Amino acid sequence: MKEYSDYIVRATAANHQIRAFAATTRDVVETARQRHNTSPVATAALGRLLTGGAMMGSMMKNDKDMLTIQIKCEGPIKGLTVTADMHGNVKGYVENPDVMLPPNSKGKLDVAGALDLGVLSVIKDMGLKEPYVGQTILQTSEIAEDLTYYFATSEQVPSSVGLGVLMEKDNTVKQAGGFIVQVMPFIEETVLAKLEENVKKITSVTAMLDKGYTPEQILEEVLEGLDVEFTDEIPTQFACNCSKERVTKAIISIGKKDIQEMIEDGKDIEVNCHFCNTQYTFTVEELKEIIKRSR
Ligand SMILES: [Zn+2]
């Protein structure tokens, strides 16, 4: 048995003409659900984006690179934010965790209805002066297709993305996972045709997850007949790097005047981390110490 349950596998196929990623993220998504107390449709939406984000994070090259995927949308969920690094650490939240919607026409959680129209932004902070920002309009608002469209238009990399979250009857997360398959510019016609044929046959990632497929088995199916080679495996987990000291620094940065007002209010203040919902309490005494460190 592995020490971890969630992981990302990386693979190549057809003699490096294809690169591929697949992940199982049940614990990542269940942790997010518990932290944010998300409704089923919000869990599905956030879970899909966390899964895509974890895999996209693993595509980055440098230790300190940070990937952020942000969706701003008109639907009742209002927005989602996910951040990931190259080591499988991922975190995220939705603007409205309580969104409830009837099932869609296929009887599934209506993620597209929760998001509706919107814009997807991918921000890669690679330690340069300006981060890379790619923005695209949501296509189906089901998230996987929206990431496919982002890869095609912003990165000019033809890709196929599948993401799925499956819920238990008690609304905890039963399975979550997905895949990203990308083709290189020098791909041969016959290889591309075979890949397209395979992808067409895949009706849903959720169905594969329901059968208990591992990430390796998902890729074996997507890349069937294309000589898939697994190159490495990275554990992935919901992880937030917030701490009382980081929140303290954030309070310092708001300036002396505002901190003075909080002190005069005479009440403890509570600061919540958006990403993991941890609550940090600061007493008036602590604020008096903080103001000494502020300008
Ligand atoms: Zn946090």
| Alpha carbons 127 and 121: distance in angstroms, whole number | 18
- Centre of ligand 1 to C-alpha 118, Å, is 26
End-to-end CA distance of the chain: 53
- The 3-state DSSP class for residue 92 equals strand
Mean pLDDT, rounded, for 213-221: 96
Which residue is listed with tokens 């905890």?
A: 172
DSSP H helix total and E strand total for the chain: 10, 13
| Six token digits for residue 10 | 């990386």
* CB distance 25 to 33 below 8 Å: no
Q: What is the pLDDT of residues 125-180, one digit of tens each?
A: 998 889 999 999 999 999 999 999 999 999 999 999 999 999 999 999 999 999 99
Strand ranges, E, within the chain = 7-13, 18-24, 66-73, 79-84, 89-94, 118-125, 132-137, 159-167, 173-183, 229-235, 237-238, 269-272, 279-282
- Centre of ligand 1 to C-alpha 274, Å, is 7
Confidence (pTM): 0.94
Strands 89-94 and 79-84: antiparallel
| Six token digits for residue 69 | 């995927």
| Alpha carbons 6 and 267: distance in angstroms, whole number | 42
- Centre of ligand 1 to C-alpha 77, Å, is 20
For 226-260, give one letter per residue: b (16+ CB within 10 A) or e: bebebeebbebbbbbebeeeebbeebbeeeeeebe
pLDDT score, position 272: 93
- Centre of ligand 1 to C-alpha 39, Å, is 20
- Centre of ligand 1 to C-alpha 154, Å, is 30
For residue 186, the one-letter residue type is: F
pLDDT score, position 203: 79
- Centre of ligand 1 to C-alpha 134, Å, is 25
- Centre of ligand 1 to C-alpha 246, Å, is 10
Mean pLDDT, rounded, for 281-288: 95
- Centre of ligand 1 to C-alpha 186, Å, is 42
